Amino acid sequence: MIREIRVLVIDDSAVMRRAITQILESTQEMKVIGQGRSGKDAIEKVKELKPDIVTMDIEMPVMDGLTALRHIMKNTPVPVVMVSSLTTDGAHATLEALSAGAVDFIPKNFAAIMQQNKEFIQEFIDKIKLLARKNLITQKSDPALRSPQSAVLRSAKLNPSASRGRKYELILIASSTGGPKILHQIIPQITADLTTPVLIVQHMPPHFTKSLAERLNNLSPLSVAEARDGDVLARGHIKIAQGGQQMLLERHGDRFFVHITDAGSETIYKPSVDLTARSIANNFRGRVLAIMLTGMGKDGLNGFRQLKKKNAHIIAQSAESAVIYGMPKAIVEAGIADEVLHTDQITARINELCCKTGMNAHRTPQH
């Protein structure tokens, strides 16, 4: 019998604490074992109650969530999901929290919570459940299996030869839950001699993608920016889809442009991996390297299928290194992944296939 997931809820608003508790306890799999209204409460109750996972507001009196998070990660590590306001300041603070050790975030959407928005509430429940279960499974597994090094050794290359001799003209990277953290590991390690443009679709609200792009731009030798309508694809430039909008690829003659639109009512995701991938499959003439990272659900599966039909090389993140093995799992189970790689291997593969340094290192000497 699977035991209940024990949750600690920290928020300075009594209304929010009550609403989050009701949402989580609407499923028999979770029990809220404690509440608090400040970061100081969070530190004390994590130590006392030893929860499986914590939901924590960022802006609180006495001690803010970021300060509390850093203390918890240093002294009593436990998965912490930040509850973030949908503002520019909230986006900056959230990304800071992810850098400090938070596993993910949930938008502090008062309207969706109070109106009992079914899609928002279900995603809230699923996210907490999956993140907590992931941690519980990891805790029970052999420590040797949890190390990044062993994960790299065990990750499977399904069809590495499929990419030999190929020249790629575009990279598409897709991610959802846990994605910002993984992107911070991958993007800064791509070398400055990247020969292709990169499009990133990360499920995030408005404001958050701009903050994500700015942080990655500061860490990367490449140019990283939130995509704008009319942007031209350029080598070595990374464009991140806008939160709350769809990013499509359009062709005019021999040039390719980003089109930002509010269309796409057939999907709940804004941005949607499926819509971006489909537009690439329909319009892009060159070869595509498509990479599916961590995330819940199956957004991107249909779009990646279409890319596969156009001879794209597809990489899925491994279960060991994904925060949530949902989106990459869908790609693997559909049989369209050419390779299943650990996070570190993905970075190395991009450099090998799409950067001059990597290409030159693997070029056969001429005699």
Q: Are residues 329 and 205 in the same domain?
A: yes
Secondary structure element (H or E) that encloses residue 172, with its range: strand 170-175
Domain membership of residue 133 (yes or no) is yes
Distance between CA atoms of 249 and 272, rounded to whole angstroms?
13
Q: Cβ distance 259 to 249 under 8 Å?
A: yes
Q: Is residue 50 part of a domain?
A: yes
Which residue in 206, 6, 208 sits closest to 104, CA to CA?
Answer: 208
- Classify residue 101 by its DSSP letter: T
The answer as to whether 366 is a domain residue is no
Look at residue 223 and tell me if it is in a domain.
yes
Radius of gyration of the chain (CA): 21
We report the CATH number of the domain holding residue 9 as: 3.40.50.2300
Residues 121 and 163 in one domain: no
Active site residue 92: no
Return per-residue pLDDT of the chain as tens, 367 residues.
568 999 999 999 999 999 999 999 999 899 999 999 999 999 999 999 999 999 999 999 999 999 999 999 999 999 999 998 878 888 999 999 999 999 999 988 777 777 778 888 998 999 999 999 887 655 544 443 344 443 333 344 455 545 555 689 999 999 999 999 999 999 999 999 999 999 999 999 998 999 999 999 999 999 999 999 999 999 999 999 999 999 999 999 889 999 999 976 667 899 999 999 999 999 998 899 999 999 999 999 999 999 999 999 999 999 999 999 999 999 999 999 999 999 999 999 999 999 987 766 555 444 4
**Which candidate in 11, 299, 318, 342 is catalytic?**
299
Do residue 229 and residue 344 come from a single domain? yes
- In this structure, are 222 and 257 located in the same domain? yes
Beta bridge partners of 314: 290
Task: Please state the separation of Cα 349 from the chain's center in Å.
Answer: 19
Per DSSP, helices labelled H in the chain are 14-24, 39-49, 65-75, 88-100, 110-114, 118-140, 143-146, 148-154, 179-186, 208-219, 273-283, 301-309, 327-333, 343-354, 356-361
* Nearest Cα to Cα of residue 354 among 229, 222, 202: 222
Taking the model in full, what pTM does it have? 0.89
User: Is 234 found in the same domain as 328?
Assistant: yes
- The answer to whether residue 367 is domain-embedded is no
CATH number of residue 255's parent domain: 3.40.50.180
- Per the residue annotation, which of 176, 211, 279, 318 is the catalytic one? 176
**Are 167 and 268 members of one domain?**
yes
CA nearest 147: which of 322, 320, 319, 328?
Answer: 320
Q: Which residue has the tokens 């093995």?
A: 325
299 is catalytic: yes
Contacts of 124 (CB under 8 A, 6+ apart): 23, 24, 106
Q: Which of 11, 12, 57, 203 is catalytic?
A: 203
Are 117 and 174 found together in one domain? Answer: no
Of the candidates 90, 105, 140, which is a domain's last residue?
A: 140
Judgement on whether residues 23 and 158 belong to the same structural domain of the protein: no
The domain of 237 spans 150-361
- Establish whether 13 is a catalytic residue: no
Q: What is the DSSP pairing of strand 198-202 with strand 170-175?
A: parallel
Q: Which of 99, 122, 140 is the last residue of a domain?
A: 140
Task: Indicate the SS3 state at residue 90.
Answer: helix
Q: Are 355 and 331 in contact (CB under 8 A)?
A: no
